Structures are given as C-alpha cells and as structure tokens.
Amino acid sequence: MKYSALALLRGALSGPDSWSPAWRSPEPKPEYEVIVIGAGGHGLATAYYLARNHGIRNVAVLERGWLGGGNTGRNTTIVRSNYLFPESARLYEFSLRLYESLTRELNFNIMLSQRGLILLAHSRHDLDAMSRWANAMRMNGIDAELLSRDEVAAAAPLLNLSPEARFPILGGFTQRRAGTARHDAVAWGYARAADALGVDILQNCEVRGFTRDAHGGVTGVETSRGPIRAGRIGIAAAGHSSVLARLAGFSLPVTSYALQAMVTEPTKPALDTVVLSPGTGAYVSQSDKGEMVLGASLDLFPSYAQRGSFALTQGILASTLAIFPSFSRLRLMRQWAGIVDVVHDSSPIIGPTPVPNLFINCGWGTGGFKGIPVGGWTLAHVLATGRSHELAEPFQLERFYTGRLIDEAAAAGIAH
Ligand SMILES: Cc1cc2nc3c(=O)[nH]c(=O)nc-3n(C[C@H](O)[C@H](O)[C@H](O)COP(=O)(O)OP(=O)(O)OC[C@H]3O[C@@H](n4cnc5c(N)ncnc54)[C@H](O)[C@@H]3O)c2cc1C
C-alpha cells in the first residue's frame, strides 16, 4: 500500500482492518542468493539497495531479536557530515544527501529535521581547531560556518554564556544541514521498502555459526531457526560484529563498549538546534515530543550489557548542566545504552573479510546512524559485484595491515 494523505483518509473512514502490515513475517527458505545478518538500519538498508540498485531480491535479513531493536533504535538520532578528511567527507556527505530524499524514496516519513548542529568552542585552542576543521569541510564542498559567541548565544540562548562559567563559550561552528531524523522510522522505512521488493526479514533468528566449503568459503549459516544456505553473506551487526567474526574464524580490530543516552520529561520548545560540547563531552537536542535528548562519552570498559554505568550517567548530567544550568529543573524520564563497535581510527570497515563470500559493514562506533544509507549502499555494492564501492575503498579491513588509517577521532564527536 502506498502511504499518502488519501490513504490516511481512507484508512480513517474504513477502520484499522484496512491497513496491511508494513512487512511480512515469512518462514525461512532453505536457500537465498544473499543473507544479511542484523536487521538494524545498516542491514535493512543493505537489503533494500541489493534489491533496488542491483535487482537482487532473493535476499534474507536475519535478526536475533526484533528489527531496529539494536543501536538503530537506541541512538540519539543526529545526522551530519562534518568530518575532517576527504575520504570521510565524501562518505558521510553521500549519506546525508541520501537522507535528504529518503522520505520520498521510501514513501515513509523519516522526520528528517535539518535544524543544524553547533559545536561549542570553550578555549582559544578550540577556536583554532574548529577554524581548521570548518575550512577543511568547505574545501571538501560541505557547508560549515564559524560562529561568534553572540551568534551562538542567539542560536541557543539557554546556554551558560557567563564569562565566569566553568566552561566559557568563546564561539563555535555549525553545519546548518545537520540535524536529526526519527531512528525507528529509518529502520521501519527501509524494512517496509525492502519487504515490498521481495526481501524476507526473519526476526527471532539468531546466527550461531557458519557452514563452509572445502576452500573455507561460507556457504550458509546455522541459526536458531535451522540452517540456511546462501551464495554470499554480509554482516551488519554493530557491537556484535566481533562475535560473528569469531564464529567465522577471523578477528576484527573492534572493541565493544556501552554508549548511553537519556531523555528528560517533555517541555515547551526551547532548543531548535543540536548542541555538542567536545570539551565536556555532552551533546543535547530537543525531540519533536519536547524531551531533551542527552548523550556523552562511552563507558570506559568493554561490555555487552545494554545498560551503561552509573558513573557515566552522573558525568553526562554534570556536563549537560555545566552548559545548560536551567535544565536542572527538568526530571529525567529514561536512560538506556547500546553496544557500539569502536575501531582505533574511529572510521567504519566496509568490504570483504578474509573468509571467501563473507563481507562486513561495522566499526561505525558512536556515529553510524548518520551512516545508515551509505553503509547499506556500499555493502550492497560489494555483495552484488564482489568489488568495493569507490566510496568504501579507503575503509577496507586491510588498512589495519597497511597502516593507512583515517583518524576521525575528533570529528567522531564523542571521545574515544
Ligand atoms: C546511545 C547511543 C547514541 C548514539 N547516537 C548516535 C547519533 O546521534 N548519531 C549517529 O550517527 N550514531 C549514533 N549512534 C551510533 C548508531 O546508533 C550505530 O552506529 C548504528 O545504529 C549502527 O547500526 P547497525 O544497523 O549497524 O546496528 P544495530 O542497529 O545495532 O543492528 C545490528 C543488529 O544485529 C543484530 N545481531 C547481532 N548479533 C546477531 C546474530 N548473531 N544473529 C542475528 N542478528 C544479530 C542485533 O540484534 C541488531 O539488531 C549512537 C549509538 C548509541 C548506542
């Protein structure tokens, strides 16, 4: 069914039974041309672009829980392309451009809100670093504007702008095309569009092992719903990528950490841009429902517990209140965490693995929501053609052997 104002009206008049489910719940087939492991945004986007860009529709996405229940449904929804190096700029800008037309492309409102993102400079050193960063972005053809202290004050008047503040604000820089998108809607939109093109999304289907041929190449997976054969397999499992890699017999330079976020009770519109303070680690935006969405650094020890430590929760609140003191009057409603896949150079890995017929998309760490469209696009390309997409070429696993790292630690936004 095509969603439209007319369909909404028809649905309102004819009752709930007139709506068809957004995607099917099929039984697994014994064999698919391609299997994608993980029904987060990256896995679902991969399946969609396999069908849409390459005409490969005999595809299954295998999800051990429910689709969008991993980091895709737990993140703070910020999208941007303000990275430093040309390779990353190209990758993330391609993604942001796909986001800009995604609602229409998927016929699903992903609630993209390009309200801009401001990075705060708390020192002369920050100002110098940010002018270098903004200039690099402009040379890469991406919008960036340096802001004076007064311009920051006008954009976010609730900030603590006192010169006596613990973290004084001297200025900053903004990417006006950055913003937020509704995370669930991105997963649901890709799922619905992939399903409509014939992709099977198999939930409650955990991958527990790989079957191999005589040359060591993968020929299928062992799952909680039985064995399934496939010609090629893609992994898009974020914080559990290294678990799956180990099942396939290789290791990844990935460490898994909990990253937490929280929301306050809703309040009237008070902040119409995203504010990130690299100095304190805190970042804040206001959701469409009115909640203040707060995030900050990673937990300092590796973990698979989707909770996050109390010490970090306290740290996030202290940092947020240092820059927005009036938020101390808001009550906290919810706190949660996801397991992110952190790589030494804070850049993703997209391409072949040492195992024949097995490909991977991982290492997005704390910033892969913004990368969902391009992550899916480029993993689909290598799965379909066997060759890495030109945007993904610098982001191969082999860079950890050659030493050609792309260190985006600063632009990753969150200290790691
Ligand atoms: C608190 C928090 C805030 C964040 N904020 C932002 C942000 O503002 N902007 C941004 O760009 N990024 C952000 N991120 C990062 C972003 O959420 C992730 O990089 C991105 O969602 C990863 O998407 P994915 O599809 O790869 O992973 P996921 O959405 O985690 O999907 C992977 C799926 O694989 C499944 N899986 C794992 N193992 C198996 C198995 N053995 N068999 C079958 N299925 C399996 C999981 O159940 C999961 O559903 C944040 C992350 C967190 C946790």
pLDDT tens, position by position, 14-61:
988 888 899 999 999 999 999 999 999 999 999 999 999 999 999 999
Ligand 1 center–CA 254 separation, angstroms = 14
- With a 6 A CB cut-off, is 234 part of the ligand 1 pocket? no
Q: What pLDDT, on a 0 to 100 scale, did the predictor assign at position 74?
A: 96
Considering the chain, what percentage of its residues have pLDDT values greater than 90?
91
> Closest ligand 1 atom to the C-alpha of 370?
11
pLDDT in tens, 225-234: 999 999 999 9
What confidence score (pLDDT) does residue 410 get?
Answer: 73
* Measured torsion, CA atoms of residues 237, 238, 244, 248, in degrees rounded to the nearest 10: 90
> Distance, CA 153 to ligand 1 centroid (Å)?
34
* Any atom of ligand 1 within 6 Å of the Cβ of 77: yes
Q: Nearest CA to 384 among 41, 32, 34? A: 34
Higher pLDDT, 16 or 388: 388
- Cβ of 364 less than 6 Å from ligand 1: yes
The C-alpha angle 194, 200, 205, rounded to 5 degrees, equals 125
How is domain 30-108+182-254+345-402 classified at the CATH fold level?
FAD/NAD(P)-binding domain (3.50.50)
328 CA to middle of ligand 1, Å?
A: 30
Q: In whole angstroms, give the CA distance from residue 158 to residue 140.
A: 32
279 touches ligand 1 (CB under 6 Å): no
What are the strands, taking DSSP E only, across 161-225? 171-175, 179-180, 200-202, 207-212, 218-223
Phi and psi of 232, rounded to 5°?
-140, 150
Task: Give me the pLDDT at residue 84, please.
Answer: 93
Crossing angle (nearest 10°) for helices 41-54 and 372-385 = 50
Of 204, 191, 240, 228, which is closest to residue 338 (Cα–Cα)?
240
Give the mean pLDDT of the chain: 95
Give the position, in ligand 1's atom list, of the atom nearest the Cα of 368: 19
Task: Give the span between the Cα atoms of 331 and 111, in whole angstroms.
Answer: 26
> Counting runs of H as helices and runs of E as strands, what totals does the chain give?
11, 18
- Please give the average per-residue pLDDT across 114-122, as a whole number: 97
Report the CATH number of the 117-178+255-343 domain.
Answer: 3.30.9.10
* 199 touches 47 (CB < 8 A): yes
Q: Is 210 in the pocket of ligand 1 (CB under 6 A)?
A: no
Domain locations along the chain: 30-108+182-254+345-402, 117-178+255-343
- How much distance in Å is there from the Cα of 40 to the middle of ligand 1? 6
Ligand 1 centre from 154 Cα, in Å?
A: 35
- Mean pLDDT on 215-243: 98
Please state the separation of Cα 400 from the chain's center in Å.
22
Average pLDDT on 87-108 reads 98
Q: Of 1-15, 72-86, 328-342, 350-364, which range is least confident?
A: 1-15
Helical H runs in 107-237?
A: 124-139, 149-155, 183-196
Ligand 1: residue of 37, 61, 62, 75 to mutate (most ligand atoms within 8 A of CB) is 75
Q: Is the pLDDT of residue 409 over 90?
A: no
- On the question of pLDDT at 413 being above 70, the answer is no
For the beta carbon of residue 229, count every other beta carbon within 10 angstroms.
14
Which residues, in sequence order, are CB contacts of 333 under 8 Å at separation 6+? Answer: 262, 263, 264, 265, 291
Residue 412 has pLDDT above 70, yes or no: no
The answer to whether 30-108+182-254+345-402 and 117-178+255-343 have equal CATH topology is: no
Give CA–CA dist 110/189, Å, rounded: 7
pLDDT tens digits, 156-173: 999 999 999 999 999 999
pLDDT band at 203 (very low <50, low <70, confident <90, very high): very high
The finding on whether 70 has its CB within 6 A of some atom of ligand 1 is: yes
CA of residue 337 to ligand 1 center, whole Å? 11
- Taking the centre of ligand 1 as the mean of its atom positions, its distance from the CA of residue 302, in whole angstroms, is 16
pLDDT > 60? residue 287? yes
39 lines ligand 1 (CB under 6 A): yes
The encoded tokens of residue 116 equal 């801009």
